[in-house]
Amino acid sequence: MISCTDFIPAYSELFKFLEEQGGKEAVEGFWNHLSDRFLTNLRDLVAEHGIRGCWLYWNHTLNEEAADFTMELDEEAGVFRIEMHHCPSMGRLIQLDHIEPYHDYCRHCDVLYRRVLEPMGYKYEVDMSECHEARCSLTVSRPG
Amino acid sequence: MAKQVITRRASDNAYLHKDFHGALSVGLEYLEEHYGEEAVREYLHRFARAFYAPLTGRLQQVGLAALEEHFAAMYRAEGAQPRTARTADDLFVEVDACPAVVHMRRHNYPVSRLFYETTRTVNEAICEGTAFAAELLDYDDETGRSIQHFYRRPL
């Protein structure tokens, strides 16, 4: 068994392996597949609760991942936002001195969640300009 | 509807997100489907050689006690009660159920046909280049129950 606490490096190495097998398209193909096959809980929560589903989903995952974050939900304005002060995934990868993170590691978050939320009518925006320092932000909004 | 805000520090929670097992399983399925089952083994081998290199180093330096400590801590952290038996030349690790498989079955996540390779291939890779080897003596796909054996390679 690979411990769930060792998953992030395993994930990063999987991206490297896939890129070696089939280029960036192979990595992106996997991200699309993972979104379709595995993020059904996010899809179901948003379908049932609207934008509050984002709050319910990330409140569960980010607490279990021991992330350092601020999360805001304004249902009236139709806006959900996460300010990631220290991402537990990228933070872990940059801490390891014996393996290099996959060069485009953080982009999986953009692809996976956008693929769920945009077809449901939400606008999904991410700022990854500081992701190499394990900081990012995402905003999900429901157009008026 | 009031605006809700929460802020959490990393130290507020323990790091244990078992859903990651499901994501890894989906990754193994994807690899098998697109590149064949040898690709699954090759990926796990490469990952283990790279990521567990410090553990392999400790195995080389202090022997099987390094693996006993690693596996006991890993299984206990995920709620299992592993039984270990060690001599200078042998280590047996036995679990009644794999916490990853139990979690995935409980949540109806797909369990890759080759999920046992996260034990067999990974253990073999950890031992590679040392005086020790690994074999998976028993594994139940439904529960992940396993008996893992590590032993000193014959001269």
The domains of chain A are located at 4-141
Would you call A4 and B144 a contact, using CB atoms and an 8 Å cutoff?
Answer: no
Q: How far apart are CA A123 and CA A22, in angstroms?
A: 30
Q: How far apart are CA A87 and CA A56, in angstroms?
A: 18
Question: Per the structure block, which two tokens stand in for B17?
Answer: 């997100």
| Model pLDDT for residues A74-129, shown as the tens digit of each residue | 999 999 999 999 999 999 999 999 999 999 999 999 999 999 999 999 999 999 99
Say whether residue B69 is in contact with chain A using an 8 A CB cutoff: no
Give chain A positions within 8 Å (CB) of B12: 63, 66
pLDDT band at residue A5 under the 50/70/90 scheme? very high
pLDDT band at residue B105 under the 50/70/90 scheme? very high
Distance, CA of A80 to chain centre: 14
Q: Is A84 exposed, middle or buried (0-12, 13-18, 19+ CB in 10 A)?
A: buried
Say whether residue A69 is in contact with chain B using an 8 A CB cutoff: yes
Write down the pLDDT at residue A56: 97
Give chain B positions within 8 Å (CB) of A37: 26, 110
**3-state SS track over B17-75:** CCHHHHHHHHHHHHHHHHHCHHHHHHHHHHHHHHHCHHHHHHHHHHCCHHHHHHHHHHH
Question: Per the structure block, which two tokens stand in for A55?
Answer: 């709050």
Q: Are A32 and A107 in contact (CB under 8 A)?
A: no
Domain architecture of chain B: domains with CATH: 18-152 (3.30.1380)
d(CA A72, nearest CA chain B) in Å:
4
Q: Does domain A4-141 have CATH number 3.30.1380.20?
A: yes
Would you call A67 and B34 a contact, using CB atoms and an 8 Å cutoff?
Answer: no
The predicted model gives A57-73 an average pLDDT of 95
Say whether residue A144 is in contact with chain B using an 8 A CB cutoff: no
Q: How far apart are CA B87 and CA B127, in angstroms?
A: 16
